[in-house]
Structure 1
């Protein structure tokens, strides 16, 4: 038996999975802290209410337009294994960055922006429109640096060098904290300009750090022992534009549609409630839940990257690891929902009223199974990405979105419970439908057995 075969079927250790996953799990938490730091700084600058509102709107517009680019890491990890495939994939992803730059720039630098701000968003105050222009004129450049950063992070993930990612995120936090401190003390820059600028600067810092970290670790990108030469042989067919598009478009559409889930759910809560308490409680609940659930979104990287080492034993290890991570998060939510710790966090730390806190805890109860289901789904997502059948991922996501709407409507019409709780149950049901759809496809088509056979 050759060394190559031995490596493919070697036992995956839990310690190895923890070492691989932990840096990826920490990343969204740290980034979430940076966004909160920006909001805290905006509240201390001139025109805080207008600034916070316009920045939130501008950020939402930017995130919706560039949402597909979030899938570029997975595209690199799945399709890049040599210099030729890297050239194709990186050119495609950076091309998307240029496209999104032009789309956002058309709002930040042309009269089209004013039309969108007034007619679609509903901004009327000239100061609000001025701030929106300032924000988007800077945010337009974010897709350019984000595309390069994601390419480099995708390479690091494929090489199982996830420990190179976290330091860049930490440097980002330190850097933007210093910039925000200077802006807050000196009051020298408009708040929306500062916030948009540090968002761009933070991603640019990450991009520079991960690029140099990879180069330092491997000595070069294209050398004999460089980054590209060290990539695992993941791709069985030659990569071309058609294959990239076939892989990327379904998950890009999925990422785009996912941006509309929360507005739809919030709209349902507004229509089903008399006051604003339910909407406020749901907003607090979702934010708090996603602080802990966010890291689980990286679990698909485990089954994606380790797919070449899968046999039944290793698959069971990865699945158990993912479910353990999800169970841990569910336990944390249970503690918040059923103990005084939840009251302390909500009333003392977040400063919500006792009335809202009572509703929030009930909503969190409805979300308790959500982390376990998401961990299960993410594990199967990774398998499908490795098989480059992302159309199944997109189809499962659409099934999940349909279930969210249907369950919300059915519960709202048949039971008399808080609308925020109905929203949590609907999202959990949608997540379960997504997970069951994709796992059914994998089991029915013997996908895992095919991977085992290829690895031997």
Structure 2
């Protein structure tokens, strides 16, 4: 599929884009609250350090598995337009979730899992069993997440994005209710308690998404004219590069933490980076659905989508600049809300300042990825992610050697450089695509003219 499709060109007003986008950005921001609910519940355990640590380590593996499920949302919203493509997408979802569940069961109930947690993640013998027990619950969260993402893809492509916000709010309300019951009965004694709260919330959100999604699916045409998706292999050709790119991206956070561990004050460096990246993720969540704007509106009105992206893309950078260069961030945000102080506060503020480049690049990387999705050129995303990883690692090694006492800003600057490199690679490929299309059009026109002259002659 090309962005030069035969779809009818029409103007899209700014209000339409805004009403489509706000529920997506709001629901993405609400995700962070669900983790706050869990962590604040586990913090009330008799031994909170062990309980939170076991849950957090299990979540690190869950994050890898869930990436495989979450990209079903982009795949569905891009490719599903009729009953045939929906059934194909549903089958792919079943295959993907079955594979994830099988791999998760192997990790959770075999010596392979124990070796993974103890050797690769460095989990101590004391923490090993609690971590595995937490993961045995979290692996089912991935399944419900995949079901949710399948139907959210249908919901998004049909411009009913308010249902993502509704689903997230129902999820948060239900999680808060479960957390209240757990605390009232003094059941917070294990990391898997947090996993059960997460599972309950995700199951409810999946239910809301599936109920609305099924209604929309029934209204889809049996076969949309000129829609090119009619084979399962087409969906896998779109999905697989996204999967590879996502798995490559997973390697960046642990690499940054590992290198920061070599710095002069490792604990301060790692902690300040963790505090700063949590703030940045919250701000970037506003623009994390730019690709959906591109998928659903770029073919209709490129100019308006571009203008909208320019305006929205500046919000995280402006907010981050205010937080990192004014007393609002120091006193109102990090010190009183997050609770950091002294040297950690100073290092966190410094780290935030070096993330401004990252927040400038992030929305445009998502924008470019959206264009690649509508062109079905998702393979390019694997190359751009590899470029990101190489640039990040190179910057980390250079910075840790030249500024060993730099603290968390080493990770922030390295990750910013990595995203800048990813954006450059994406722009290069998109530019080459544009040039090739122009050359093809020129050749086509000249061949036609030449043929006409030969016939006339």
Say yes or no: does 1:317 pair with 2:304. Answer: yes
2:282 alignment partner, one of 284, 291, 294: 291
Q: Distance in 2 between matches of 1:160 and 1:407?
A: 41
Aligned to 1:156: 155
Q: C-alpha displacement at 1:231, in angstroms?
A: 9.7
Aligned to 1:368: 356
Matches within 5 A, 1:275-286: 275-286=266-277
Q: Where does the alignment leave 5 or more consecutive residues of structure 2 unmatched?
A: 442-457
Q: Distance in 1 between matches of 2:435 and 2:162?
A: 30
Q: C-alpha displacement at 1:275, in angstroms?
A: 4.1
C-alpha contact (below 8 Å) 1:69/1:252 kept by paired residues:
no
Matches within 5 A, 1:97-108: 97-108=97-108
Matches within 5 A, 1:315-354: 315-344=302-331, 345-354=333-342
Aligned to 1:388: 376
Aligned to 2:22: 22
Q: C-alpha displacement at 1:264, in angstroms?
A: 0.6
Q: Matched residue of 1:358: which SS? A: helix
C-alpha contact (below 8 Å) 2:167/2:205 kept by paired residues:
yes
Q: Matched residue of 2:54: which SS? A: helix
Say yes or no: does 1:202 pair with 2:198. Answer: no
Aligned to 2:190: 191
Aligned to 1:59: 59
Say yes or no: does 1:89 pair with 2:89. Answer: yes
CA 1:275–1:382: 2 relative to 1, 3 Å: closer
1:265 alignment partner, one of 240, 256, 264: 256
Normalising by structure 2, report the TM-score. Answer: 0.89
Q: Distance in 1 between matches of 2:303 and 2:365?
A: 14
Q: C-alpha displacement at 1:139, in angstroms?
A: 1.7
Q: C-alpha displacement at 1:193, in angstroms?
A: 2.6
Quote the RMSD (CA, aligned, Å): 2.4
Q: Distance in 2 between matches of 1:48 and 1:143?
A: 25
Q: Where does the alignment leave 5 or more consecutive residues of structure 1 unmatched?
A: none
CA 1:104–1:285: 2 relative to 1, 3 Å: same
Q: C-alpha displacement at 1:239, in angstroms?
A: 3.2
Q: Matched residue of 1:78: which SS? A: helix
CA 1:120–1:374: 2 relative to 1, 3 Å: closer
Q: Distance in 1 between matches of 2:140 and 2:358?
A: 35
Q: Distance in 1 between matches of 2:224 and 2:57?
A: 42
CA 1:256–1:307: 2 relative to 1, 3 Å: same
Q: Distance in 2 between matches of 1:443 and 1:152?
A: 33
Q: Distance in 2 between matches of 1:422 and 1:113?
A: 32
Q: Distance in 2 between matches of 1:448 and 1:199?
A: 48
Q: Distance in 1 between matches of 2:8 and 2:189?
A: 55
Aligned to 1:308: 299
Q: Distance in 2 between matches of 1:407 and 1:280?
A: 20
Q: C-alpha displacement at 1:448, in angstroms?
A: 11
Q: Distance in 2 between matches of 1:416 and 1:196?
A: 37
Say yes or no: does 1:229 pair with 2:221. Answer: yes
Aligned to 1:167: 166
Greater Cα offset, 365-374 or 5-14: 5-14
C-alpha contact (below 8 Å) 2:137/2:196 kept by paired residues:
yes
Deviations 1:432-456 (A, max 9, x none): 1111211121122218978xx9xxx
Deviations 1:235-262 (A, max 9, x none): 7424323222211111101111211201
CA 1:373–1:35: 2 relative to 1, 3 Å: same
Q: Distance in 2 between matches of 1:240 and 1:232?
A: 14
Q: Matched residue of 1:272: which SS? A: coil
C-alpha contact (below 8 Å) 1:82/1:231 kept by paired residues:
yes
Say yes or no: does 1:399 pair with 2:399. Answer: no
C-alpha contact (below 8 Å) 2:286/2:316 kept by paired residues:
no
Q: How many residues align?
A: 434
Normalising by structure 1, report the TM-score. Answer: 0.89
Matches within 5 A, 1:416-431: 418-431=406-419
C-alpha contact (below 8 Å) 1:28/1:295 kept by paired residues:
yes
Aligned to 2:453: none
Q: C-alpha displacement at 1:113, in angstroms?
A: 3.3
Larger radius of gyration: 2
Q: C-alpha displacement at 1:111, in angstroms?
A: 4.2
C-alpha contact (below 8 Å) 2:263/2:269 kept by paired residues:
no
